Chains A and B, each alone.
Chain A
Amino acid sequence: MSVLVYVEQANGKFKKSVFEAVSYAKAIADKQSTNLIAISIGNVADSELKELGKYGASKVLSVTNDQLNSFVNQAYAAVIAEAALKESTNIIVLSNSFSGKGLAPRVAVKLKAGLVDGAVELPNFDGGFSVKKTAFSGKAFAVTNLTSANKVIALNPNAFGVKESAVDTVIEDFSPTIKSTDLVAIVKEIVRATNKISLPDAELVVSAGRGLKGPENWGMIEELAELLGAATACSKPVSDADWRPHSEHVGQTGIAISPNLYIAIGISGAIQHLAGVSSSKVIVVINKDPEAPFFKVADYGIVGDAFEVVPRIIAALKAHKG
């Protein structure tokens, strides 16, 4: 029995989180002494599909039906379930992306598979099949033991890392059955800010809060983020006041992220904010109040006025980059 990984594409390209999911699925396949099969839906060039071999996919099922050009979770779930049955795979891995969250539960119900969303570690096979996932908005982890024959795992971005494990890859066309009743939802338009790094995928994040006083002061935050190649984020009151878009709001009621570096500027560190960011690998806090709770969970801290400190960091970074 082999492992199937769904490789989500955007404009015919795979993102880092996809290679991560492939690396993770490959590690599971290795443990099971089996091979890894990937399934791609939509128009992706063979050269891009071949890339999946670098991370361990020995076969890629490519579905290029015109009716499936845009993502409709109902239809995509049917395709993935059909592929799982055809290839007799019993473990299905995908990224816990926005689309993945709409897809994994449907695949799981179709296959009567136990589902672990937001997985952060490889499964533990000792006496069963258990997977650790985030719970309570990052305040805890829950270890879930799956007892069903089929299993679906949605892997959190930036939790496992990309690991190369090159194998020869064959690309196979796969023509699934398509039911018109699975295509009731119609994608009308996709709007993507092409020049920005998306927050859930970002390895580095620069975030700011109410300490910045107003939206007009975000210039230095964006400049710092651009210099670092980081995404920008904000606290809830900032997006509530429309200083920044809701899609940047991190925390318990916003997006939960775990980048390698999280720089928090003028954010107090309320429990609901920390919930979404505390699993970041390194946290830097800049706050003028030495008593700000955020310092308790920070790795590096600067007590000072953001309007003086941030320009200095920008200058130091420019000097560092030469």
Chain B
Amino acid sequence: MKILVCISNVPDTTAKITFTNDNTQFNTAGVQFIVNPYDEIALSKAIELCEGGKGTITVINVGESVTDPTIRKALAIGADDAVRVDAYPRDAYFTAFQIAQYAKSNDFDMILCGRESIDYNGSQVAAMIGEFMDIPSISIIKKLDFDGTTAIIEREIEGGKEIVSVTGKFVASCAEGTAEAKIPNMRGIMSARTKPLQVIAAESIEELGKVTKFETPAPRGTVKLIAAENAEELINLLHSEAKVI
């Protein structure tokens, strides 16, 4: 079994989000970058599926050389080798196209992504890879069992879940619950240094749009405190002032 796991390089969850150049660029000064938390779940699922020598895991990232530490982290967690498509990941359309081009010429049984990258929150890449490759894509999954031929997948829907079966190649984007995130151990960290990381060139594809400006949410006013004994007042305020109940 061969599994491809897509890894994006994102700002740490505690990072302060600010912008430069007249609010047109994310300010990376002082920001630490990490493996997208959902991609850790996808990778951990791949490791579970391959346990006992049942398969190999390749991680792929579309990014410039600054993302190499993030790729090494994925290798330390347990991927066997890595590919970096050497280009700035300008949007999901570009990124998914690169991944699909690579995956088409390499025979993977499945491609796992995270549910969304925590910077642009697109939830786009997985389904776009599916479309570029003309194979099924299941978005926002919570469970995945694979018997070597058929995958049984649980997908989240509003107020419940859907159980889907797929035979043949597919893409899935993993949410919490799919697997327990694995932490690299010392041996993993040591071996990650020497695992293969192949750098390949990007292919060109048309641009359909781009982010032109960032905005930060308007600050809220100060909190109105209500005495703990006075629950009636809260209900009154929610009813007649805030008008939400």
User: Residues of A at under 8 Å CB distance from B?
Assistant: 10, 15, 71-74, 77, 97-99, 101-106, 108-110, 112-118, 130, 132, 134-148, 181, 184-194, 196-201, 204, 228, 239, 246-247, 249, 252-254, 256, 260-261, 271-272, 275, 278-279, 281-285, 295-305, 308-309, 312-313, 315-317, 319-320
Contact = CB atoms under 8 A, between A and B. Distances in A.
A313 B119 CA distance: 37
Contacts of A142: 120, 211, 213-215
Given A102-B140, A143-B211, A253-B13, A185 B160 contact: no
A112 B38 CA distance: 27
A143 B13 contact: no
A98 B157 contact: yes
Q: In which size bucket is the chain B interface? A: 35 or more
Given A146-B209, A246-B142, A252-B118, A295 B160 contact: no
A261 B38 CA distance: 28
Contacts of B231: 302, 309, 312-313, 315-316
Contact of B211 (A98, A144, A260): A144
A108 B131 CA distance: 9
Given A97-B158, A135-B119, A130 B212 contact: yes
B183 interface: no
B202 interface: no
Given A114-B208, A191-B163, 9 more contacts: A101-B123, A108-B124, A113-B208, A185-B170, A188-B164, A246-B176, A272-B14, A300-B223, A300-B237
Contacts of B206: 112, 148
Nearest to A227: B245
B17 interface: yes
Given A278-B217, A316-B231, A192 B159 contact: yes
A304 B226 CA distance: 10
Contacts of B208: 108, 112-115, 146-148
Given A189-B163, A247-B156, A300-B224, A137 B121 contact: yes
A98 B139 contact: yes
A312 to B, nearest CB: 4
Specify which of A72, A101, A320 lies most central, judged by the most chain B CB atoms within 10 Å of its CB.
Answer: A101
A123 to B, nearest CB: 11
Specify which of A15, A140, A246 lies most central, judged by the most chain B CB atoms within 10 Å of its CB.
Answer: A140
B13 A186 contact: no
B136 A184 contact: yes
Nearest to A288: B228
Contacts of B93: 108-109, 114-115
- What's the dominant secondary structure at chain B's contact region? mixed
A141 B17 contact: no
A147 B93 CA distance: 13
A129 to B, nearest CB: 8
B127 interface: yes
A136 B242 contact: no
21 contacts: A73-B138, A102-B137, A105-B124, A105-B131, A106-B127, A108-B208, A115-B208, A130-B212, A139-B216, A140-B19, A143-B215, A184-B167, A185-B136, A185-B170, A190-B161, A252-B37, A282-B242, A303-B225, A309-B228, A316-B231, A316-B234
Contacts of B134: 181
A316 B18 CA distance: 42
A89 B209 CA distance: 19
